[in-house]
Amino acid sequence: MIFKLQRRVISDNLRRLNDYESRIDQNFRLSAKNIPSDLALDSPNEAERAWAEGHLVEYTELTGFLPDILRQSSVVTLVSILESEYERISALLGGKLGLTEKVTDANGQGVVRSSDYLKRVCGIDLPRIDGLWQEVNNLIQIRNCIIHANGHVDRVKDNKREQERTRENKREQERTRENKREQERTRENT
Amino acid sequence: MQVNDKKKIVVSEGYLSDASSVVEEYLVKNLELFSGVRPFDDVL
């Protein structure tokens, strides 16, 4: 029963998202179609030229910038649905087992957190479904790139390098502090 | 899905539909796996 219900919820949420994107995308297309194709960009009349240039900007946005943002937002929402539904399933199973530890207490974030909870707390180590997991993981990486670097793949790599440098610096600082503490303890004992 | 000459991700038309199918299949397959794991088989 719950299986069927949960399956229905997943399908409904995904269908709504796809319908929403289609409708907005269609509106962009219709609005762009209403812009005249013979814009008087070279008109000697300044007002006419300004009007034409305004419409050209609008056309460019309706056919490029806005659909791009819409599709990127849809990917972000899609991964959000994936994570929340996976978490809901994990919470349901944890509740059935009467566990006090919640899925939100597990390590990591998103799908990784739910998987960690299922494995470590519920004792269920699900096989990562061949091929599908790779595709899902790619989708998550794309979402992360959109969120953290506005879709710029090279910036994500730079961010990762920067994060690793920061972590290494913190480790180095901690080692230095520990060495100082050790030296102080040695001095006090002598 | 494409990466343009500015190394920026461009989500192509129709990508959402394909990606949604993958997500749905993944979640449903996981649900099916759960349904075969005791003691969850009676819940799901």
CA end-to-end distance (rounded Å), chain A: 72
Closest residue by Cα to residue A91 from A114, A116, A124: A114
Query: A31-83 pLDDT, tens per residue?
Result: 999 998 888 899 999 999 999 999 999 999 999 999 999 999 999 999 999 99
Domain boundaries, chain A: 2-151
Residue A178 carries which DSSP code?
Answer: H
Which of A23-32, A43-52, A124-133 is predicted least confidently? A124-133
H helix and E strand count, chain B:
1, 2
Residue to substitute from A1, A4, A10, interface B, most B β-carbons within 10 A: A10
**How many degrees, rounded to 5, is the angle at CA A184 between CA A179 and CA A187?**
125
Query: Could B8 and A153 be called an inter-chain contact, meaning their C-beta atoms sit closer than 8 Å?
Result: yes
**Does ipTM exceed 0.95?**
no
Query: B13-22 pLDDT, tens per residue?
Result: 899 999 999 9
Would you tell me which residues 25-44 of chain B have a C-beta closer than 8 angstroms to some C-beta of chain A?
25-35, 37, 39-40, 43-44
Give the closest-approach CA distance of A92 to chain B in angstroms: 9
- Percent of the residues in chain A that have a pLDDT greater than 90, as a whole number: 44
**Does B18 reach chain A within 8 Å, measured CB to CB?**
no
